Structures are given as C-alpha cells and as structure tokens.
Structure 1
Amino acid sequence: MAAWSAVLTTRRLLSLLLLSLVLGACSQPATGGDPATPSRTANSPTETADSATRTANTTTQAANTPVVVLDPGHNGGNASHPAAINRQVPAGRGRSKACNTTGTATAAGYPEHAFNLDVARRAGRRLTERGIEVGYTRTADDGVGPCVHERARIGNEREADAVVSIHADGSTDRGAHGFHIAYSAPPLNEAQGEPALRLVRALRDGMRGAGFPVAGYLGENGLSGRDDLAGMNLSTRPAALVECGNMRNPQEAAAMSSAEGRQRYAEAIAEGILAYLGA
C-alpha cells in the first residue's frame, strides 16, 4: 500500500505540474508583450475615434475663422490704360459707371494707389497675426483694375465677414481734411443694413481712437451713406469704404507719404475691423 500511495502522490504532482504549465501558457498574450498592457494597432477603435475627433476639431476651427477682404482702391497701371478703365460696368441700382479710375495724389506726387495698397498690406498683416483670414482684391501696384463690380464679386465669393475698401480723398476745398467712412445707403440687401452700419461705426471709432480727425467737409460724424459706390451697392457682405484723409491737405499728405503714418492708418483700420468681428 505504501508503494501504491507513493505512485498516486507522484501522479498527482505530475498532473498539477502539467496543469500549471498549460494555464501559464494560456495566460500569455499572443504578441509576447506585457500582459497588463493590451497592445494597440494603428487601426484600433480608440485611435480611429481620436483621429476623427481631431479632424472634426480642425475643420470646425477653419470654418469658424473670420474672413476679411481688403480692397486697395485703384491700381498703378490704370492711368496708362484709359480704354480699359473707362469702359462702363454695372454699378448697382440699375446704373453703370467707369470700370475704375486713376485716383488722386499728394502735391508732391505720391499716388493714392500706392498708399492704398501699402495700408492694406499693413492692415492685413495685423489681422493675420490675430488669426483672421485675409484676402485682397489686388496684391500688386502695376496692374489695371480690377473693375469696381469685380472687386465686389471677390468679397461676395469669399463670403467675407467684412469687406473694407481703402482710399484717400483729393478734395481741393480749402481746409478740407479728416477721414470719413462711406457705405451703401439706402441698403439693397440685409448685409448692407445693420451689419454694414456696425462695421462703419467700428471703423470710425478705430480711426478716431487712433487720433485721426473726423472730416468736417462731408458726411456726418465721420459717416457718409452713398448710393453711387458700385463696390458697396453690389456687395452682399457687410462692406465699407475708408477715406483715410485728404491727400491735398499738407499735414495729412505728409502722414500718408511716410511709412510711420501709413502704419498708423493701417493699425487704426485693423483695430476697427477686429472690434467689429469681436476678435
């Protein structure tokens, strides 16, 4: 009996040892990794969901980025192409007008078209730094146009949150100086109503806050509603036109002719746009 008991004991021990080896093998991961840390592949549900969330967030951020179109008035090649800029184009309200004009200049010859583009570029850089998407109706100063109706189309197609035209006046009235903001009036669509009025007020306040005087020779309190501006009439987006000052006024001509002065104008316009956007 003692011998048989020893045999049974040996068999039990062998059975237990075999069972332990089998269970141990079954508990190991197929990849040979740490059993406490399940492995993930690039196509795991968790990673796929994370990737989808990141893509959705990026798309939403892009969709929520405000778009501003800056419209530097005139162009450097207009004067040498009179036939092109004098042809009649739609101007809104059932009217037509010349495609474009040459603009004005200071008594010393600094041209408005160069001033407009430089201020637009400077304002655009400021807006871009604040996360605004900026478009332009022109980016060079040696071309012709675009025509006034094409400038409006650019802002409309970009579905801009704001369209701001940049100009300078050339009044020869004695003592005429200061800025004013023009807009389409009476409005032809919803965007030309309260949204445009909020934009022009914000621009007016930005210019005034920067120390620029309000024009006393036209408009009222810095604002001028007009029905003859094609770019404003044809816009389906909130639009405004900034006449930064009078190039025929010696003091304002000096400011417009200097880089420091143009930077001041640009920053004032940009701050007005940012205030309007709430950015």
Structure 2
Amino acid sequence: MVAVRRAIAPLLLAGALLLTGCSDDAPAAPAPGPSTPSAPVTSSPSPSSTSVAPPATPTTSATPAAGKVVVLDPGHNGGNAAHPAEINRPVPAGRGQTKPCNTTGTSTDAGYPEHAFTFDVAQRVGKSLSDKGIRVVYTRQNDSGVGPCVDRRAAIGNEADADAVVSIHADGSTTAGANGFHVAYSSPPLNAAQGEPSTKLAQVVRDTMRTSGFSTSNYIGGNGLSARSDLAGLNLSTRPAVLVECGNMRNAAEAARMTSADGRQQYASAIAAAIEAYLAS
C-alpha cells in the first residue's frame, strides 16, 4: 500500500505542474475596448461542478473601417462672397486648366445658402464616422472663413493619405422639375486612384443614397453618376475621391429637406453609411 502511494505521488505532482503552466500559454488579452462589467466571482463553487466554464467572448466596438482616414470637403465657405478678389484668382485645376479659387455657391429660393448646408451635413457625417473609430479630416473648420481654394482642398486629401475623399455640395439648377442627387468622379482618370477606387466609391455612394430613399438626378449625369473632367478637386486628387451633389436647392421639395435639421441628418446618415461600406469593402 505504501509502494502504491509512492507511485501515485509523482503523478499528482506532474499534473499540478501542467495546470500551473497553462497561465503562461494563455492568449494575449484583446486590445482595450469599452469596458464590460465582469461576472461576480464566487468563493465557493458548486460541489457538483467539475468542469471549467468557457471564457466569455470579448466584445469590441471597432468596425472594419476603424483606423481609416476620411477627408470631408464641405463646398464653398461663408466668407467667400465678401472676398471676391481672393476667391476669383485663378488656381490650377488639373488637365492644364485653371479655375477660380472658389465660388459662393447657390442657395434655396428662400435664401438658405449652400455653404451652410454642406458644412452642417459634413459635421454630421464626420461625427458618425468618428464615433466608429474613423479619423476624419475637414477641408475647412468653420462656415465663416474664405476658401480654401479648390487646389488646396485636393491637397488636403492627398496629404492626409485619405482612404476616401468626399466633397459635399448641392446644386442650383433653375430647370423646371430638376431634382435628385448625383455623384461625380474624375474621368478619364489621371492616376490609379481616379480609376477603379474612385468609380467604386462613386457607385457605393450612389447605391447607398438610393437605398436610403434619395432619388437620382433627372437632369444631369446618368443613373446617379456623372463622369467629369472639369472639377479641380477631383482632377488633382491622388486618393479615391468623389463629389456628391445632394440635390437641387431650387426644387421646393428638396429645398425643404435641406433646410430642416431632420433632412440634413438624413443626407448625413446616408453619406456616412456609404463611406463606411466603401471602407469595409
């Protein structure tokens, strides 16, 4: 009997050493995320329990697009109209062209300006993306300044090494019945980023806005897309870039939507969802 006990003792000791070594081989803890309350620890487990409960699956708020960089370019600026000499000076526009530094933009018939609409929508889009861990860079920080010029707006996206650049605008067509949004992209492409990456971004934005309840333009482009060779911000971009004309501010129904906070949130939610979908693809 003593001999049996002596034979068992080394086995028990080896088993104890194996159990102790498991803690060193445990997988590394997941990256810090939102804290989740731990389950309460009990000092006296059930006597009938002989198995170890599996670890809880870690949760995280990170999205597939977290860590990406997006440049948002709200069209025009609130101080442009008061500085005509500055915004009218010619700047490079790509393809050997020059264009005025910037313009004043359009407005609704009631006077709600495009620059205010685009800045508000861009801020809403940016907040949604930032909340998902996406780094957001704006081409302008307020709605009371001048510019920046269109070539500088393109440079901001290039310098940020942006994964996507989205310029936000609204149209001012006086054509009777003109309504709907369209997404412009540079064509023919001048570099690789203006090829498949930009056309894909344009298609994702178009598709997402359409499924969000917005109608495609009935007066410009085709099926919600518009290939352009004259837009400096797109021509000078070396990153995937598009310009979204959210609708026609001279159309009564679309003007009402753009003027309301709820309407601007609808535009912003659709654009943000489109950007997230593109970044995650």
Q: Does 1:97 align with 2:94?
A: no
Q: Which amino acid aligns with 2:183?
A: I
Q: Counterpart of 2:227?
A: 225
Aligned equivalents of 1:114, 1:168: Cα separation in 2: 11
How far 1:130 moved relative to its partner?
A: 1.4
Deviation at 1:174, TM superposition (A): 0.2
Tell whether 2:189 aligns with 1:175.
no
Q: Which runs of 5+ in 2 are unaligned?
A: 1-23, 32-65
Matched AA of 2:209: M
Return structure 1 stretches of 4+ with deviation > 6 angstroms.
none
Aligned partner of 1:29 in structure 2 is none
Q: Larger Rg: 1 or 2?
A: 1
Sequence identity of aligned pairs in percent?
A: 68
Q: Does 1:257 align with 2:259?
A: yes
**Residue 146 of structure 1, aligned match among 118, 127, 148:** 148
2:243 is paired with a residue of what secondary structure?
strand
- Report the TM-score, using the length of structure 1 for normalisation: 0.77
Aligned to 1:215: 217
Give the distance between the partners of 1:119 and 1:201, measured in 2 at CA: 20
For 2:93 and 2:137, how far apart are their aligned partners in 1? 22
1:1-279 matched pairs, under 5 angstroms: 65-278=67-280
Taking structure 2 as the reference length, the TM-score comes to: 0.77
Deviation at 1:264, TM superposition (A): 0.1
Once the two structures are superposed, residues 212-260 of structure 1 have per-residue CA deviations (whole angstroms, 9 ceiling, x without a partner) of: 0000101010000000000000000000000000000000000000000
CA distance in 2 between counterparts of 1:142 and 1:224 reads: 30
Query: Secondary structure of the equivalent of 1:85?
Result: helix
Amino acid at match of 1:66: K
The count of aligned residue pairs is 225
How far is 1:113 from its partner? Answer: 0.1
For residues 179-223 of structure 1, what are the alpha-carbon distances to aligned partners after superposition, in whole Å with 9 as ceiling and x for unaligned? 000010000000000000110001001110110000010101000
1:84 Cα offset (Å) = 0.1
Query: Which one-letter code corresponds to 2:151 in the other structure?
Result: H
Cα distance in 2, alignment partners of residues 273 and 134 from structure 1: 11
Flag the structure with higher helix content. 1
| SS of match in other structure, 1:71 | strand
Unaligned runs of 5+ residues in structure 1 are 1-45, 55-63
Supply the RMSD in Å over aligned alpha carbons: 2.1
2:36 maps to what in 1? none
